Amino acid sequence: MTKARIASAFVLVLAATSTAAANTTVTGKLELPAAPELPPMTRQGFVPRAENALRAPQPQAVAPYVVVVLDGTPGGAAPQVSWSLLGDAFSHPVIAAMAGADVVITNTSHTPRTLSTVEDKTLSGELLNPTGGKTLHVEAGKTYTVHDPDAPYVWGRIVVVATPYIGYLDATGKFEIPDVPEGTYKLRVYYKDGWVDVDRDTVTVPAKGKPVDASAKVASLKPGAAK
Amino acid sequence: MFLSKIWFFLVALAALAFGTFALVMPRPAQREAAYEAHRRLVLGCNTVGIRLADAARKHVDLVATFVRDDRIIDAVASTSAADKVDDEHNKKAHVAGEAMMKAITADPPAFAMLIDARGRVVARVGFEDGDYGDTAAGRPLVDQALAGYLADDLWILGKNQLYFVTASPVIKRTSDFAYTGAVVLGYKASKELAAKLVIHDADEAEQTEVGFFVGPDSLATSKTVAFDTGALVDDIKGLPDKDRDNDCTNGHLIAMRSGTDDYDLLGARLPGEAGDRGAYYAVYTSSPDVSGFGGTVKKVDKGDLSFGNFPWLLVGGGFIVALGVGILLMIVEADKPLRVLVADTVRLAKGDADRLDENRHRGKFGSIARSVNIHIDKLGREAKSAKKDLDQLLGPAPEGSLGTIDLLATALPASRPGGAPSMGSPPPSEFRFGGDAPGMSAMPPAPMPMSAPPMMAPSAPPPRPQMPRPATPPPPPAQNLQAPGPQFGRPPTPLPMPPALQQGFGAGAPPMRLDDDILGAPGGSSGPIPTTGAIAVQAGTPDAATAAGGEGSYFQQVFEQFLAVKRSCNEPTTGLTYQKFSDKLVKNRDDLKAKTGCREVRFTVYVKDGKAALKATPVKDE
């Protein structure tokens, strides 16, 4: 695998449109509830899994499945979104894209994949060769679950939102949304299968100045009434 | 014949019963063999599953041991801290992985994969060695290992290559025992692995082979056999998804043919990721040889047919009894009655009896006798009718004076059945008797080749044997003035030949049978004259007469001969005109032609009891 490919493997590029560089960056940290234990394999091998003798197993990773969205006045055209398939997993299992955006799926591994969408036939057995790409135009109000029928563990989800201001968590739960125009936004958090409740409703972004802290606490990872 | 039929029916029934028994008899053994084969395959299937699970446990323990190697921990941990996996990380990890692989000598894996804490592949050893940096996280087994679990799975990599894989977390040997990555070991489902799983019977006589498949594709088998796995795939698809642990019990025995060999197969799904993609294993053995009647016969050896193991005496005795009873019944019901009938017909032909004794014959033979008697009666009635016609023409003839017709009319009973049989001689017959037949030596040689009288077959006369006809005109009437032959029973009464006749018909000529046409005497000039107490004058033949001067000439000749004979007998000829005479002849000839289907009628003038008489003899076609 080339260096360029490695570099792109962990970067989800949100190519924003011509937003003024003078806008404010929104940062913060999500306080997440205790992560659930990793469930056993759906289809285990000959023997049940066993814990190692040195340390208790780690809980399931939550951050890769969380998307933070500032929902407010739509800010122009939908930016193109790049989504990398890094072998046996997407760079982010769950991403958000503004309605009308083109999501370009790039296979950076050496393994060809056959991709389909579960909800509809936007993708229907599309062959994605190594280094190849496939564009998916997303529509408002939809959710796209992309998977490889030949490798069920290859799985990713696209949540279509009405805003280009989208952020992702690092391993510690921190996020950063750059170039957010002045205004008041609703803070929304999506986890795996749906929107979850947070203890903060809005984020007010000034016209220009220091980064705005939008930290919040997620009470539960179960999908709630938040929309 | 009734008992014979019953006996043959019983023999056929017994043969049917034995045949059915022979065909049905192998079924239980075949069923038992199939059950035993299924049981053996189920046992083998479960055994293979247990062995695979046991191997998976050993491999898990093995990988858990080798992830404690400091070189492995260091190579993986150093990469986990980096933003990207570079060549240095890869080389370091690859060296550590190779060392680990070499250290595993007892059951070396096919490949090893070293993964950092972020799920990135740091190095691959033994499979796509140059490929690294991609994300293996997301695969359930890798996720389990990164989370701290020891687990196993089955992967399909490359072009349908099945691997049994195990994974273990890599844990730093620091105070916090931090998870820093994972190691995956893979064991390929190869022919060697399948051969290790082959199950041998205790006596090593048979063995249960093992194969690994993905859908219709055979990946590796312990014994190379080309299967059409369609039926096996269908059976695998029909197994209940919620009871995967009991596939060996729930599966069905699949019979397959590869080349000239038959096999029984039983499949069970493999677990894990490969199981989701249709991977399964199958155990198979050669089908039992016992298959139906043919298979059972093939299994019979000499020992089974020895006197000690097979009731030859009983079988042979039964055969002899069945054959003897059948022959006895045939003798009693067919052969003996037939011999009696033959003897009866011989007596009839020889004249010792004028009818067949119907009371001596039973069943069909009695029917034959009755039919023959009915026909004899019919012939008698027809002869009487012919005699009556001549009587009307010429006046009542003396008893026995009409030769053949007269004989038939008087020798046969007036009616049947129950009528008293006539004691006269039987009519000429087509029967030919051998020279050694009893009583036949007394028969004169001339009448032997006789054919049936033409009048006996009016509608379809049988072909006459070729007889030489005289090329010359009919012999002189004097030749016909001959004493009757002995075959007609009554002793003839020679009469003095009138001089006129002697002159007209050639005195001193050899005697000629009166009915030589009927009796078929060769040349018509030999043999005794078959008349009884009569002197006959034959008026040539109608053909010869016709050739000479027509039918009228022939009738005129007969008329003149008849007048001459009447005068020689001192009978009155007043009122006997040629016209009246020829009319009678014509009528009589036509009647005989109609009755007998003859070609022509020959009239013979002769003396009977001192009176002139005339005989009409049908002349058949040659």
Contact B558, B501 (CB under 8 A): no
Distance CA B196, CA B185 (A): 19
Report how far residue A139's alpha carbon sits from residue B35's, in angstroms, rounded to the nearest whole number.
61
Rounded average pLDDT over A27-49: 91
Q: Annotate B308-333 with b (16+ C-beta within 10 A) or e (fewer).
A: eeeeeeeeeeeeeeeeeeeeebbeeb
Probe site for chain A from B135, B171, B174, B241 (most A CB atoms < 10 A) = B135
Give the model confidence (pLDDT) of A134-180 as tens digits: 999 999 989 999 999 888 889 999 999 999 999 999 989 999 999 89
B277 and chain A in contact, CB less than 8 A: yes
* Chain A from 7 to 26: CB within 8 A of any B CB: 7, 9-10
Give the pLDDT score at A222. 87
Cα R_g (chain A), whole angstroms: 18
Q: CA-CA distance, A94 to A80, in Å (whole number)?
A: 16
Residue A196 has a pLDDT of 94
Q: Do B273 and A58 touch (CB under 8 A)?
A: no
Query: Which residues, 6+ apart, have CB-to-CB distance to B253 below 8 Å?
Result: B34, B37, B38, B41, B264, B265, B266
Task: Tell if the CB–CB gap between B137 and A89 is shorter than 8 Å.
Answer: yes
Residue B79 distance to chain A (closest CA, Å) = 13
Which residues are bridge partners to B121 per DSSP? B115
Interface of B with A in 146-205 (CB under 8 A): 146-154, 164-166, 168-169, 171, 177, 179
Q: Are B84 and A7 inside 8 Å of each other by CB? A: yes
The residue type at B579: Q
Amino acid B538: pLDDT: 55
**Strand B261-269 relative to strand B254-258, pairing:** antiparallel
Q: Do A42 and B140 touch (CB under 8 A)?
A: yes
| CA B590 – CA B579 distance, rounded (Å) | 16
**To the nearest whole angstrom, how far is the Cα of A216 from the nearest Cα of chain B?**
26
- Tell me what pLDDT residue B543 has: 56
Instruction: Give pLDDT, residue B142.
Output: 95
Contact call for residues A12 and A91 (beta carbons, < 8 A): yes
Number of other residues whose CB lies within 10 A of the CB of residue A140: 11
Is A55 in Cβ contact with B144 (below 8 Å)? no
Structure-block tokens of residue B277: 């993609």
Residues of B in contact with A40 (CB under 8 A): 144
Between CA B529 and CA B513 the distance in angstroms is 3
Show which of residues 68-127 on chain B sit within 8 Å of chain A, judged by CB atoms: 83-86, 119, 121
- Count of alpha carbons within 13 angstroms of residue B393, beta-carbon side: 25
Query: B138 and A109: CB-CB below 8 Å?
Result: no
The conformation of residue A41, written as its DSSP 8-state character, comes to P
Positions in chain B short of pLDDT 70: 203-204, 289-291, 393-549, 621-622
A-chain residues near B277 (CB < 8 A): 150
What would the pLDDT profile of B273-323 be if each residue is shown by its tens digit?
Answer: 999 889 999 999 988 766 677 777 777 888 888 888 888 999 999 999 999
* Contact criterion met (CB below 8 Å) for B498 and B482: no
CB A54 to CB B272 under 8 A?
no
Nearest to residue A195, comparing CAs of A163, A171, A161?
A: A161
The minimal CB distance from B153 to the residues A45, A58, A154 is found for A45
Backbone dihedral region of A173: left (phi > 0), alpha (psi from -120 to 50 degrees) or beta?
A: left
B interface mutation test: which of A5, A6, A42, A52 has the most B CBs within 10 A? A52
Q: How many helices (H) and strands (E) does chain B have?
A: 20, 14
Distance CA B210, CA B222 (A): 5
List the end-to-end C-alpha distance of chain B, in Å, as a whole number: 43
With tokens 């893979």, the residue in question is B186
User: Which residues, other chains included, contact B181 with Cβ-Cβ below 8 Å and sequence gap of 6+?
Assistant: B76, B77, B79, B80, B114, B115, B116, B117, B122, B146, B169, B170
Check residue B572 and give its pLDDT: 87
B333 close to B4: Cβ distance less than 8 angstroms: yes
| Residue A63 confidence class, pLDDT cut points 50, 70, 90 | very high
Q: Can you tell me the ipTM of this complex?
A: 0.84
Nearest by CB to A150, from B53, B144, B277: name it: B277
Report how far Cα B423 is from the mean position of its chain's Cα atoms: 55
- Nearest-Cα distance to chain B for A152, in Å, is 9
Q: Give the mean model confidence (pLDDT) for residues A92-113.
A: 92
Q: What is the pLDDT of residues B322-345, one digit of tens each?
A: 999 999 999 988 899 899 999 989
Taking the Cβ of residue A120 and every Cβ of chain B, the question of whether any pair is shorter than 8 Å is answered with no
Instruction: State whether residue B548 sits within 8 Å of chain A by CB.
Output: no
| Contact yes or no for B64 and A52 at CB 8 A | yes
Q: Which of A5, A42, A47 to mutate to test the interface with B (most CBs of B within 10 A)?
A: A47
Instruction: Tell me if A150 sits within 8 A of B277, measured CB to CB.
Output: yes
Q: Is B540 left (phi over 0), alpha (psi -120 to 50) or beta?
A: left
Which one of A185-199, A203-217, B30-44 scores highest in mean pLDDT? A185-199
Judge whether A61 and A35 are in contact, CB under 8 Å: yes
Cβ contact A89–B141 (<8 Å): no
Amino acid at B399: E
Annotate A43-89 with DSSP letters as a single string. Answer: T--SS--EE-SSSPPPBPP-GGGEEEEEESS--SSPPEEEEEE-BSS
Contact (Cβ atoms closer than 8 angstroms) between residue A102 and residue A135: yes
Contacts of A92 in chain B (CB under 8 A): none
The model carries a pTM of 0.60
Instruction: For residue A6, give the nearest of B84, B152, B177 by CB distance.
Output: B84
Query: What whole-number distance in Å separates Cα of residue A220 and Cα of residue B15?
Result: 86
